Amino acid sequence: MMEKERILELRKELERYNYLYYMKNAPVISDFEFDKLMRELEDLEAKHPEMYDPNSPTQRVGNDTNNEFVQVAHKYGMMSLSNTYSEQEIRDFDERVRKGIGGDEVEYVCELKYDGTSISLRYEEGHLQVASTRGDGVKGDDVTANVRTIRTVPLKMQGEGYPAEFEIRGEILMPFAVFNRLNEERLEAGEALFANPRNAAAGTLKLQNSSVVAKRQLDCYLYYVPGEITLTATHYGNLMKAREWGFNVPPYMEVCRTLDEVLDFIHKWDVDRKNLPVPIDGIVIKVNSIKQQMQLGYTAKSPRWAVAYKFKAERVETRLLSVDYQVGRTGSITPVANLEPVHIAGTTVKRASLHNEDIIRELDLHLHDMVYVEKGGEIIPKIVGVDVEKRLPDAPAIEFITRCPECGTELIRNEGEANYYCPNEDHCPPQIAGKLEHFVSRKAMDIEGMGSETIDLLLTKGFIRDIADIYTLPAKRAELIGLEKILYPESYVMTSIPLSRVIYAFEIGVKNISAKNAEVLAGRFGGLPGLASATKEELLALADLQFPGDREKNINKILEYFRMPFNEPLERLKQAGEVDMIPLDTVIYALDIPGIDFHKSELLSVKFDYIYRLYTATADEIAETDELSREDAERVYRFLQGKDKFIRKINTLSVYRLQEKSVDNLIAGIEKSKQRNLPEFINSLGIRYIGETASRNLARHFKDLRVLMDATFEQLTEVEDIGDQMAGSVVRYFEKNENREMMERFLQYGISGMIQEEEGESDQLAGMTFVITGTLSLPREHYKAVILKAGGKVSDSVSSKTTYLLAGENAGSKMQKAQKLNVTILNEKEFNTLMSL
């Protein structure tokens, strides 16, 4: 067979295999065989570039080229649906429909309302030509290169009989499983988490690098063929035709002949939506007959023949176990509820935000209350109500703390503010750590190699006490190499922990064990001792172990972790278990001592402050523990005397150690940071209310750190966008002798303290203020940098001083405010034209 003929045959074969695998869930060849055929096609296409086809299966992996998105007009307008929120509004819609078609019988198609980003796919002669976003409904962005990477989008239509020109609409979605994995990876990398799958899908679709899009594993559900395309007499019939041609038309739809059937469909999916693989936020009801759709027509914004019923945010009931209080880097105290784990909106939830004292009082929250939790669009769910009838007798009310949970300082609450603060900003441990993490962050001094674990180690060992001490570290290279600290697993407050969760609890220090991998390891080895003695061959044989990077390298890291030398176990144990580092009951419970549940672990933790004290206790001493039987005490004693088993389990408390290469990278990052400009340095100080924009304005106005330090309140308020609150905060910061002394130390260590002219800076946008909002094809930082280098300013809020609003997709309240104030609104293309990009 000629090579060119083989290329065509391979393309056809691979598309069929892809369809069977992703659409029919019926693979007929192995992944290995599929990959082998794909490599053959790649090799042949490389030899015959004249055979290039953008719809070849080889294009699904994307490429590293940065593609500018261009606007394309929709042949048929992409309208939005009007929303309803009650059954009565559904009945009103039914009445309007029946009246509009002259009282004839009507049939509805009920579908799920997918919570993603809208897409339109256009095919010519069965081949995908253009994929475009909704945009303004008249034209949208051409995202074809990215959509080609989505496996459930056919690059070539299947079967026969399809029209020469065909268009179909639907939604690009990020499945919950992919979203959760992606957020786990971002958390490990220290990156900001995606708020919800919808935002993640929209942001991914607008990435300029299609190879990155391919790795995100988006999905596409299709649900509408524009009525102008005549396939069958009904909407449902059109979708069945589209399914025959290889399109991913979801199965979650129903033809309803009565209003009661419509309402039954709504009620069913309001309950069952939690079992879906993708997010939905309601139900769409469409008139089935295309003829009746044409009779009803359209308003200026939406069709009269369809409506969306929006679900209320998913609400579940669970028990409140306790309330923790977290201290932020500015000293703000945030209460967080610990809950019995419960499934909501695609994820398992065990913590919920309580925000502040006022919320606790409004809820009248008591310990062990049954509470209602909603997730909505937030990463951290919130408690929205309490079932008072299920309250336990004599359950104590939750009282907001009066002293800092970390340093014991009495809390303060400023007039007009909702939050309490710990005023001990210079000596409160989490505030110090928070200031250090902010100081080294990318938008501040950008010191690589100094993550939260390194900061914690340096603080614990006394190498740094404040942010200026960072610049003393290069002179201590020899002392830093080999510096180590035992890390502890997360605390799980529950009565039962599956082994996979125990393994995952030890994930601090084993960044290669995801929750999914923990389940795989638990299923294979049955216990921590088995895992600790696993061989490399055994781990390599576990095909379900999946890693974002090199598989063998990650498995080696796991082996290294569980093979850590423990030559002085007793000395390590003496250092290991202080209650203020991790609840001792969690350590005891994680040891999985037969017959010792979480309650008994708590009892033991009350009796013994340190794990070493429990380890060295006699059976009689253990038996003195309140409520613990003699039999339980004997079990604990026998378990702890099995030194090998016990030490293997303690071994899973990770040791974090600075290696020579890590130390050298850290020192290089510190030296490099001395070149940062004055705006970034001011931002790095973490002065309350002074963020990135305010720091830049202060630097540009005063140009010299010493001048800023001596500025009066009145001089500060002369700076653009610096109000009374900000000015007062700056004055208070530099009034403190310790802060002024710290500035002198910075200058001695090599920080210039003077603003430097930025390369490429111009006055093109001098006097103009921009606000950036919505989902853009590039990160906001890109546009911010362009504006600032051209002499413009970037503000966080829209006001009468705003010159332009740069708006991407899903622009919300800022867009509305800009319209009210007659602020000029630019899309990305218009902004690029303005900047001559």
How many degrees, rounded to 5, is the angle at CA 192 between CA 117 and CA 691? Answer: 115
Q: Is 171 annotated in some ligand binding site?
A: yes
Q: Is 350 annotated in some ligand binding site?
A: no
Cβ(826)–Cβ(804) below 8 Å: yes
Closest CA to 701 of 722, 681, 683, 685: 722
Q: Which residues are paired to 336 by β-bridges?
A: 324, 353
Q: Is 537 annotated in some ligand binding site?
A: no
Strands (E), 415-526: 484-486
Instruction: Report the interhelical angle of 176-188 vs 197-205 (nearest 10°).
Output: 80
If one counts every other C-beta atom within 10 angstroms of the C-beta of residue 64, the result is 9
Beginning with the edge strand found earlier in the chain, give each strand of the sheet holding 219-224 in spatial order: 127-133, 117-124, 165-173, 219-224
Q: Is 836 annotated in some ligand binding site?
A: no
Q: Is 207 annotated in some ligand binding site?
A: no
Cβ(746)–Cβ(753) below 8 Å: yes
Question: Cα-atom radius of gyration of the chain, to the nearest Å?
Answer: 31
Closest CA to 84 of 95, 99, 70: 95
Phi-psi region at 11: left, alpha or beta (left = phi > 0; alpha = psi -120 to 50): alpha
What whole-number distance in Å separates Cα of residue 167 and Cα of residue 122? Answer: 4
Q: Is 574 annotated in some ligand binding site?
A: no
What whole-number distance in Å separates Cα of residue 762 and Cα of residue 732? Answer: 34
What whole-number distance in Å separates Cα of residue 519 and Cα of residue 196? Answer: 24
Q: Is 31 annotated in some ligand binding site?
A: yes
Task: Enumerate residues 6+ apart whose C-beta is below 8 A from 670.
Answer: 447, 450, 470, 471, 473, 474
Closest CA to 751 of 692, 686, 672: 672
Question: How does strand 83-84 pair with strand 219-224?
Answer: unpaired
Q: Is 422 annotated in some ligand binding site?
A: yes
Question: Phi and psi for 773 in degrees, rounded to 5?
Answer: -150, 165
- Count CA within 13 A, CB hemisphere, residue 657: 11
Q: Which of 12, 36, 113, 814 is catalytic?
A: 113
What whole-number distance in Å separates Cα of residue 648 and Cα of residue 566? Answer: 9
The single-letter DSSP state of residue 412 is B
What whole-number distance in Å separates Cα of residue 630 and Cα of residue 620? Answer: 8
Q: Is 176 annotated in some ligand binding site?
A: no
113 is catalytic: yes
What whole-number distance in Å separates Cα of residue 743 and Cα of residue 154? Answer: 61
Q: Is 219 annotated in some ligand binding site?
A: no
The b-or-e profile of 366-382 (16+ CB within 10 A means b, else e) is bbebbbbbbbeeeeebb
Query: HEC states along 767-780?
Result: CCEEEEECECCCCH
Q: Is 428 annotated in some ligand binding site?
A: yes
Q: Is 406 annotated in some ligand binding site?
A: no
What whole-number distance in Å separates Cα of residue 208 and Cα of residue 253? Answer: 34
Q: Which residues are paired to 348 by β-bridges?
A: 343
Q: Which residue pairs from 741-750 have beta carbons closer than 8 angstroms and sit at least 24 positions apart in sequence?
A: 742/466, 742/467, 742/468, 743/705, 743/709, 745/468, 745/471, 746/468, 746/471, 746/681, 747/705, 749/468, 749/471, 749/472, 749/674, 750/471, 750/674
What whole-number distance in Å separates Cα of residue 16 and Cα of residue 474? Answer: 60
- Per-residue tokens: 532: 């600790």
Task: Enumerate residues 6+ apart whose C-beta is below 8 A from 393.
Answer: none
The SS3 call for residue 818 is: helix
Residues designated as active site: 113
Q: Give the annotated binding-site residues.
A: 31-35, 80-81, 111, 134, 171, 286, 310, 404, 407, 422, 428
Q: Give the annotated binding-site residues for Zn(2+).
A: 404, 407, 422, 428
Q: Give the annotated binding-site residues for NAD(+).
A: 31-35, 80-81, 111, 134, 171, 286, 310
